Amino acid sequence: MAPDWVPDDVDWRKPSPARVYDAQLGGAHNFEVDRAVARQVAQVMPELPALLRANRSFLRRSVRFLIEQGVTQFLDLGSGIPTVGNVHEVAQAIDPACRVVYLDIDPVAVAHGKRLLVGNPNAVAVRGDLRRPETVLGDPAVRAMLDFSRPVATLMVAVLHFVADADRPGEIVARFLKEVVPGSYLVLSHGTHVEHDQPRSPEQVVQQATDLYSRRVEPFHLRDHNAVSRLFGPLELVTPGLVPVAVWRPDNAEEALTGANLPQLGGVARKP
């Protein structure tokens, strides 16, 4: 039987990307079916815990960077289940007036987000499908929280590898960016292929983990550096460009060194 916090329309017998990710991060809002997948993937790819930590650290560093640029509004697409150190916690610790919209297709992620954000007037969790930008951008809760006449940071962190080429991920990104004014930013991270000269994460191991995830949870689409770079369209990537997430403005040299070979690219770009 599912816990009482689970929404009625959730099939808790089927794993979901948000809950598997929560399980991989050691969160509490997942089920045994999600934890089983997380264990299986980790067995195939031992680097996974380090990759997840590097991705979360990239998210936190990018939010801090954006606030330094004067951005105080965040649209987090495919946000998953909010965990410690999520966008609103990082941003509002610096500026309590920062406004955050979390959007996810998973009702568990949204339900937990709403519980977490009770009493926080500057953050909201919304259920929606990022593959339908018009619906997301027209959502009353999104419009009420974000002022699109001012810069907005659109976050697509570890989510577009769940979007197939047939769904035209580049066009999805472009539609969201069309809505925001110059001076807005895009934060994006994405699973990638591994180069053959990276012995710490052999290409076949990454592919095996990807295939397992695709069979058990949801199709997962690795893309190479060129394909991920094209998702930014005409935006201007800030230094150091599109790089492994641990290498993007690391807090220390050790972090960059230990995570340089992890198969996850990340970048931040500005709309001119």
Which pLDDT does position 180 carry in this prediction? Answer: 98
Task: Give the pLDDT band of residue 3 (cuts 50, 70, 90).
Answer: low
Place of tokens 């380090």: 50
Q: What is the percent of the chain with per-residue pLDDT over 90, rounded to a whole number?
A: 57
**Residue ranges covered by each domain of the chain:** 17-270
| Residue whose structure tokens are 């329309």 | 9
Amino acid 195: pLDDT: 52
DSSP state of 142: H
pTM: 0.86
Phi, then psi, of 266 in degrees rounded to 5 = -145, 150
Are 176 and 160 within 8 A, CB to CB? no
Residue 208: is its pLDDT beyond 80? no
Q: What is the pLDDT of residues 24-66, one digit of tens each?
A: 777 777 788 888 888 887 777 777 777 888 899 999 999 999 9
**CATH fold group of domain 17-270:** Rossmann fold (3.40.50)
Give how far Cα 165 sits from Cα of 131, 162, 172, Å: 12, 10, 11
Q: What is the dihedral of CA 62, 64, 66, 67, to 10 degrees?
A: 170
The answer to whether 92 touches 72, Cβ cutoff 8 Å, is no
**104-152 per-position pLDDT tens digit:** 998 888 988 898 899 999 999 999 999 999 999 999 999 999 999 999 9
Residues 164-205: tens digit of each pLDDT? 999 999 999 999 999 999 999 999 999 997 654 444 445 666
